[in-house]
Structures are given as C-alpha cells and as structure tokens.
Chain A
Amino acid sequence: MAHWRRIFARLRNLLSSKRAEEDLAREVASHLTQLADDFERRGMSPEEAQLSARRAYGGVEQAKQAHRDERCLLWVEQAIQDLRYGLRTLSRCPGFTITAVLTLALGIGACTAIFSLVNAVLIRSLPYGDPERLVYLFSPNPALKIPVEVICPSYGDFYDLKREARSYVDMSNFEQAQFSVTQQGTMQRIGGARVDEDFFSTLQSTPELGHTFSVEENQSAHAKVAIISHSLWVSMFGARPDVMNRSIRLDGANYQIVGVMPPEFEYPFKTDLPYGDSHIESTQVWVPLALDAKAKSSRALGNNVSIARLRAGVSIHQAQAEMAGIMARLDKEYAADPRDAGLPREWGALVESFTGISIGPVRPLMQLLLAAVGLVLLIACGNVANLLLARAAERSRELGVRAALGAGRGRMVRQLLAESMLVGVGGCVVGIVLAVFFLRLLPMLDPGNIPRLNEASLDARVFLVAIGASLLTSLLAGLMPAIGASRMELTEFLKSHAMRGSSAGHSRLQSALIVAQTAMVVVLLTGAGLLIRSYINVESVDTGFTRSAVTFHVSLDQRYSKPEQHVAFYKDLMTKLEALPGVRAAGGVSNLPLSNSESIGFLWVEGFPNRDFQQTEGRGVTPHYFAAMQIPLISGRYFTDADASVTNNRPVIISQKFAATYFPNRNPIGGKISTDEKHEHWSTVVGVVADVRHMSLETEPMSQMYNTSYDFGDESVAVRSVLPAATVENEIRATLKSIDPSLAATDIHTMGDLVSIATARRRFQTSLLTVFAGIALIMALVGLSGLMRFSVNRRRREVGIRMALGAERSDVLLLILRNAAALVVWGLLLGLACAWIATRLLKSFLFGVGQHDPLTVVTVSVLLAVCGLMAAFVPARRAASIDPMQALRTE
C-alpha cells in the first residue's frame, strides 16, 4: 500500500517537477542559512560562516540530485525526454517519417483486417454453449458413391440411438424447410426449420423473448406455433414487445408466435451444414417437427439433420465407436426399407464435429491469408528497418558527437528505439484506420460461403494484435540500427569521417534486408500468380451450358395437388414464356447446375456387364430445356413435346460421360436403360448431349441422364432471350402473375450469376493474395529505390572522382544499376527457392496448374527484374547527373 502510494507520489512529482525543484532550492537555501547563522553565533565572520556551512552541508548539487532521484522515477523522466526528442527529430524530416509510417501502416492495416476476419471466422466463439462439443451424426451407406456427410440416420434409427447411446447429453433432429411469407405486400420465401423438442437445449440457446416449444407443442401436429428470428421480429413486427400475442402466416397457415431468438442465433446457417438446402442462407423461423409415432419409427432415408452434444469427457472417437456398434446391431435387426430404392441395409456410423464441418473448409484459406499478410508485415518491417538504418548512417555525425560528449550506449540505443517506437505508434494508428477501410471493402468480395465474414470487426482482441504487431515490428526494425549505432567505435568515427562508407555506399545489413524482402515478394507473387492461373483455368472450364440463360425457381402450393394440374401449369408457363418477344427457348429442370442439389439414382444398362449400385445423376426436364440452356447435342435428338407424355418405354437423353461409360464402342442411340431394381420399366436413349458441370466447376462431371415430363411440384426454369436479363426478369414476373398471382418467382439469376457464385471463393482468395502481392511488390520497390538513393548520396565523392578520371555518364548509370541488379537477382534466386517449397502449401488451392508452373515462375522473374530496374533507374540517373566539380568540392 505504502509502496504504491510512493509510486504515485513519484509520478505526481514527475508532472509537477518545476514546483518540486523550486521547493527544494528554497529548503536547501534555508538549511544553509541556518547552518551559517549557527557558525556566526559561534564567532565566525559571515564569510567564514558561509563557507563552513557549505562544508558541513556537503555537495549541494549531489544532494539535490539524490533528492530528485528519490523524488521521481528517473527512467520515466528519461523516456519522456527521449520521446520528446524523437518527436522533434521526426518532425524535422517529414519525408522519412511519412514513408516509414505509411509503410508500417500498410502492413499493420492489412494484417489487422485479415486478423479481424480470421477472428470472426475461426476464433470468436459461436453462440451455442460450448460449440466444440457439438457433433453431427451421419450414417453413410457404402453402396452410395456420394460424400459421406449427406445422410443422417433415419428417424427410427435416430430414436434408438437416442435411447441407447451414453455419449451425449442432448440429441436433436431437425429438417430444413422453406416457408412463404408476405412481407410488405410481396410474397417471399424464407429459410426455416422443423425442429424436435430437444433442438434448443442441444444448442444451449434460449429465446430473448418468450419460450421454446413445450413437449406438448412438439407432439401435436395441430399445434401451430413458431419461434422467429430477431431479424424477422424487427422486419415484420417492428420489434414490438407484444409480438407474443400475434401470429405469423407461413404457407397460408397461421402460427402463434411463442418466442424470439437473440440476434446471433439463426442456426442453421448455410455454412453450418455440409449439404444443406442451398436456397436457405440462414434460418428465420422454427416450427415443431411434431412427428407422429409412425414417422418416429420410420427406417427409410429421410431429410433430417442429426445434431448432438457430447457428454463432458467423451471423445468423438468414443462416440463414433459407440454409434458404430449400435448401427451395426440395427442393420442386422431390420431389413432394408422398400422406400430406399434398393439400397442395402448397411447404414454406417460417422460422428463429426460441428466446428469441423462449419469452419473446417475455410481454415486452410484463413491460414493462407494469415501467412500472406504476415509476409507483407515482414516486408514492411524490413522497409522501416532499412529506412532507420539509412537514417542512422546519415546521422552518424550527430551520434558520434553525442557519444564523444559521454552519452552511454544504453541511452543511445534507447534514444533510437524511442524514435522507432514513435514510428510504430504512428503506423499503428494509421494502420487501424486503414484496417477499418479494408474491412469496409471486404464484404464486396464476400464469396458467400465463408461463415461470419460480415461479422469481421475490430474488437479488443484485434486491437491487441494490431498494437502488438506494430510494437514488435518497430522494435525489430529499430533494434538493428540502434545496436549498429551503439557499436560505433568513437576513434574510428573521428578518424574516418571524411572517407565514409564502404564501396557500395551501404552496409551489408541493408543489402541483406533488401534481398530478404525481394525473396518474400517473389514468394507472394508466385503464390498470387498460381492462384490467378487457377482462376483463369476455372473460368475457362467448359460448363456445358450458356451463361446468358435467366433462371428462376417456382414452387406450387397445396392448391396444385393433382399431376394434371402440374402438367397444365408448366405447359402453360412454358408456352407463355416462349411467346414473349426475344425469347428463344424456355425449359424447366428439377435441379439447376451449380445449385448444390443433386438427385442420384441407380441404373442398369442392357448389354452392359452391370455391377451393383451403378450411379447416375438424374434430372427431370421439360422438352425445351436443352435449347434454353444451349447444352450441345452430340448425337441423336433433343426431346420433343410428344416425349413428355410417353409413359411406357420413355425416351431418355444421356451425357457424353454416360455414353462413354456404359456404351463403350457402340452407338448409345436406341440403348435400353432401367432405373428400377426389378428392371420392370425400361427407357430408350434418344440422344446424347454434352457433359454439364452440375456439382461445381472444378469437379469432373459424372454420368448424367435426363427424362422429360411436365409433372413437377417445384421446378427451376431457364429462359434464353436476346433481350437484356433485367427485361427478361420483369417479363418472367409478369408472366407468372398472369397465370397465378399468388405464386412467386424466387432465386432469379442468370446462369452467369451462378457461375460467378461458384467461383466467388476463388475470386476472393485470388484477389486478396494478388492485392497483398501487389502491396508487397510496391513496398519492396520503394525500399530498393530508397536504398539506391541513399547509396548514391553516399557515393557522390566516389562518382565525382570516377568522372574526373574519365568515366562516362553511362558508366555511372550502369554502376548503380548493376548494384541494384545484384540485389534483385539474389533476392529472386532466394525467393524462387523458397517459393519452390512454399507453394506445396498452396496445392489444395490450385486448379489445372502445377505448383512449379514454369509460366508463373518466368512471369514473376521478368516482372520483378523490370520493376527492380525501374525502381533503381531514378537514383541511377541522379548519380549520372552528378557534377564532378561540385561533388569533389562539397566534401
């Protein structure tokens, strides 16, 4: 306590040091007078008394200094002195200060922006209790060659698991669903979920208003209750507190609102599920799943998602082993469900962590961005160090004089560090401002599949990282020149002042920094180059369809219950669409390419050595779909209108891949295909069309088969027109309204938009890495140019002598350029060597290009060489224009 009091007293004295100083002087004077009085009283003359008083008192100045040391914190006083001095020297050379602060700010800004993104995506905790304990339960079937995270256990299996498994504290099942709501007079589709009674407890989330579903509410199919999201509460109900007394109309039925979830809870987001409904970005409304006893015991493959919370101390491995045991027993106990289209009863067990599913896919990207931005920061750090080194060299006279006057080594290091710290603080402040700006730009690049990208913001943790990074960089950058300066040999300095410098004009440390920076730039440029090449490759992939087709989704409600109504509706819609001016063709399809939904079927081909579980992508289309999407016909014919009504021996169209796989060395036209287990129904191939990239642009297409009809509940429709997309959109809305005003066209996109969405992640990573590489290149060039300028300044005398001895201006130009070229070449070689190893980490980001792509390497080398020479050219020209007479006279 007393100790702290003393520190405060000392700090206070630091601030009011003038008053304390005066007080001390007064007290010492009074003391001396009293002593002198005393001596006088003993019979001394006033002069003698004064002298004796001084003798008795001891050194006045020493006493004062001891008093000062005791009074204040000496090091703080000195630090303030250093900072004040540093500020003054920095403001005297604004060129240096601005360059250093801006360089550092760019590095810090980029670093802070990316870190706040990583913070939002990977680090900040999710609002689901302890998210690390949440797991998804899957039951992959070895017969299905689809990703393992598609199928969750059937309801029957799930509730058996729930009864028997000991690994979980809570387990829940839910199904995603879309609902139509009318908002501000227009009908919209919103994402929703039908959830069982343990949904909210499993996620450990509670509503901000109202309550979650009671067990009764979740058991009765007639209980029309709903919980809504915070954003829906705000947009539909104006955040009114009496929302509990109101109801919401979903798909034409009234649901009593019983709860409002907090703003951060919109589970499941699109990125929370491995293969969720691609139309649902986030969940706005939850209603009870309300399974009856029959549904609860169904062993057929369902549409549900199973999520559970692990008991404390239970590992995913243990849970997985337990689930495998139970599923194996159930597989033996029950026969295959007839609804599962011939799938054997071989449901496996797979437990995967929720965070692995939601964040796992973007983790490598985040790491890549952090690494890139770390390099940018290092380059900025190198630049600042080089600037400080150059400055220390230019100030060697000042430093020498200070050392000669007795400045201690520690004090000089501290003085120089204070300066670099000031640069660091400036860089930090400007950097954070830049980071705010970068974060504003980031959503423009939003690929839509990075969870919580829009939540990237500057929180305390981000600030700490920014401050830490700038302190560390300024310390790193400041330490080298500071130590170098403090090592200066005084005699050496005094002796050699006239003939300063090495022959290169700069120190080996400065060259090493430039080489290291260049190498890092090469690594970044190579990485960016490879990503750009991959992006170009992806963009030029033959998708198999035209990008100009305008597509939309329409979903028929319960008023359309009979197949005849479906057929009538879609026939009418297609006819009306095709009658529009400018429209060339219109066609419907069950799943659009690149829409993240797929239907897989088994098939048997006549005259082919069939194996079990041969898979094909299957699509139902209206006859003019291929014309609307401009999917090229390879052989045979497209569907005709008559094909749509054929019921027996239906015509099918297959893809090239299908033809090559199942009809090797024979004409597929007229070939027979069956898709049912018992081979009762056969279809005939009437045409072969080009492969279409359905899953993603980067996955090779698998076998595809199309059949045709008009009998669809909901369908995507593609319209190809010569008119602009916006006009077509309006026409589509008007046409749909004229047929049925209560139906809405949703998800209106051109196929080009879908391609663009599919390549968005790539665009995001490629543009970010390119921007970083660009910033790094500019920084390194500024550094190189600065070093050359510095070196030319130091070599004026040498250049003067050379010219006096007959060197041409071009010789001088070459001399400097050769010097710069040596640095660039060393940097390039080192960088290429590093890139050779580092690009291995990039492998998973590349498409259609090797990690050692020669074109990239050559481009990077040429780019760097040209830019490096350009950066060195200006100082070299200045060297060449030195007037020898003047140069020799000034020294």
Chain B
Amino acid sequence: MSIQVLQGTLDLMILRTLATMGPQHAYGIASRLQQVSEYALNLNQGTIYPALVRIEQHGWTRSSWGKTENNREAKYYTITKAGLKALEEETERWRQMASVVEKLLAEEQ
C-alpha cells in the first residue's frame, strides 16, 4: 500500500528524523523516511525541499555545507533548540489528533 503524506505532517516527520539521527542532508532524510515507512510512503524526494525551507525559515533548523562519507558535498540540516521545542509541541498535537481520529473510527465500527 502506498500512502500520501498528510498535509502538515512532513514537517513533523523531518524534525523527528533530525532529532533522532543528528545533522542530516536532504537525501539522508528522504532515505530515512522511506526506510522507516518500509517504502509505503509515496514520496518524490524533491517534495521535501519546500518543507525544509519552511522549517528553516521558522528557525527550527540551521543548515551548512559539508562532506558525506563518500566525499560528496551536501547541505546538512541541524535541529535547533526551538526546533526541539516545536517537535515536542507538534508531537503532542499529533498524538491528540491521532487519538481523536482513532476513537472516532472505533466508535463507528
């Protein structure tokens, strides 16, 4: 099954990835997302760019150029303190949201 990314959840997923894995480049984030979702996420890797720029403009990440282990240059994104706080809030919000949806669906059955 392939699923579409829910509006607004991409930011949360990226933040979570960065918090878990430390500084990461766009390719790394995209690979990680696909890996974690066991390739169920229908995601063109290019689509994470708007989310990356949005997150950075909010001040939740910082970026700098660096080298990969294969000695390729890549832009690395690092989560900031504000980003960690935002991640916490967003996670909480998502959990509430998910539980509401879950409850609703359970009742319907």
Q: Does B26 contact A (CB under 8 A)?
A: yes
Q: Does B27 contact A (CB under 8 A)?
A: yes
Binds B, one of A5-13, A450-458, A724-732, A788-796: A5-13
Which residues in B have their C-beta under 8 angstroms from that of A71? 53, 57
Q: 1/0 per residue B34-50: CB within 8 Å of A?
A: 00000000001111011
**Shortest CB–CB separation between residue B9 and chain A, in angstroms?**
16
A70 touching B46, Cβ below 8 Å: no
Q: Does A890 contact B (CB under 8 A)?
A: no
Which residues in B have their C-beta under 8 angstroms from that of A38? 31
A59 touching B53, Cβ below 8 Å: no
* A34 touches which of B53, B58, B68, B86 (Cβ 8 Å): B68
Q: A57 to B47, alpha carbons, bound, how many Å?
A: 8
**Shortest CB–CB separation between residue A172 and chain B, in angstroms?**
63
Q: Does A31 contact B (CB under 8 A)?
A: yes
Which residues in B have their C-beta under 8 angstroms from that of A66? 46-47, 49-50
Which residues in B have their C-beta under 8 angstroms from that of A58? 44-47
B25 touching A6, Cβ below 8 Å: no
Q: A57 to B54, alpha carbons, bound, how many Å?
A: 19
Q: Do A63 and B47 contact each other (CB < 8 Å), given the known contacts A9-B57, A31-B27, A71-B53?
A: yes
Considering only CB atoms, which chain A residue lies closest to B70 in the complex?
A37
Q: 1/0 per residue A68-85: CB within 8 Å of B?
A: 011100000000000000
* B45 touches which of A6, A10, A31 (Cβ 8 Å): A31
Q: Does A819 contact B (CB under 8 A)?
A: no
* B59 touches which of A2, A30, A60 (Cβ 8 Å): A2
Q: Does B84 contact A (CB under 8 A)?
A: no
Q: 1/0 per residue B73-86: CB within 8 Å of A?
A: 11100000010001
Chain A positions 817-851 with a Cβ under 8 Å from a chain B Cβ: none
Main secondary structure of the interface of B (DSSP, over half): helix
Q: How many A-B residue pairs have CB under 8 A?
A: 79
A57 touching B44, Cβ below 8 Å: yes
Q: Does A605 contact B (CB under 8 A)?
A: no
Q: Does A292 contact B (CB under 8 A)?
A: no
* B74 touches which of A34, A63, A70 (Cβ 8 Å): A34
B75 touching A63, Cβ below 8 Å: no
Q: Does B72 contact A (CB under 8 A)?
A: yes
Q: Does A62 contact B (CB under 8 A)?
A: yes
Which residues in B have their C-beta under 8 angstroms from that of A737? none
B25 touching A34, Cβ below 8 Å: yes
Q: A872 to B32, alpha carbons, bound, how many Å?
A: 78
Q: A27 to B57, alpha carbons, bound, how many Å?
A: 17
Which residues in A have their C-beta under 8 angstroms from that of B50? 66-67, 69-70
Main secondary structure of the interface of A (DSSP, over half): helix
Q: A824 to B46, alpha carbons, bound, how many Å?
A: 65
Select the residue from B56, B57, B59, B72 with max chain A CB neighbours within 10 A: B57
Q: Do A30 and B25 contact each other (CB < 8 Å), given the known contacts A5-B57, A6-B57?
A: yes
A67 touching B75, Cβ below 8 Å: no
**Shortest CB–CB separation between residue B43 and chain A, in angstroms?**
9
A57 touching B45, Cβ below 8 Å: yes
Which residues in B have their C-beta under 8 angstroms from that of A30? 25, 27, 72-75
Q: 1/0 per residue B2-40: CB within 8 Å of A?
A: 000000000000000000000001110011000000000
Chain A positions 1-50 with a Cβ under 8 Å from a chain B Cβ: 2, 5-6, 9-10, 23-24, 26-28, 30-31, 33-35, 37-38
* A31 touches which of B26, B57, B58 (Cβ 8 Å): B26
Q: Does A56 contact B (CB under 8 A)?
A: yes
Q: A35 to B44, alpha carbons, bound, how many Å?
A: 12
**Shortest CB–CB separation between residue B74 and chain A, in angstroms?**
5
Select the residue from A5, A56, A60 with max chain B CB neighbours within 10 A: A56
Which residues in B have their C-beta under 8 angstroms from that of A64? 49
Q: A373 to B73, alpha carbons, bound, how many Å?
A: 67
Name B's A-contacting residues (CB within 8 A).
Answer: 25-27, 30-31, 44-47, 49-50, 53-54, 56-59, 68, 70, 72-75, 82, 86
Q: 10 interchain pairs (CB within 8 A)?
A: A2-B58, A2-B82, A6-B54, A30-B74, A34-B74, A35-B45, A38-B31, A58-B47, A63-B46, A63-B49
Known: A37-B70, A70-B54. 19 other contacts (CB 8 A): A2-B58, A2-B59, A6-B58, A27-B74, A30-B27, A30-B75, A33-B72, A34-B25, A34-B70, A34-B74, A35-B27, A37-B72, A57-B44, A57-B45, A58-B45, A58-B47, A66-B49, A66-B50, A67-B50
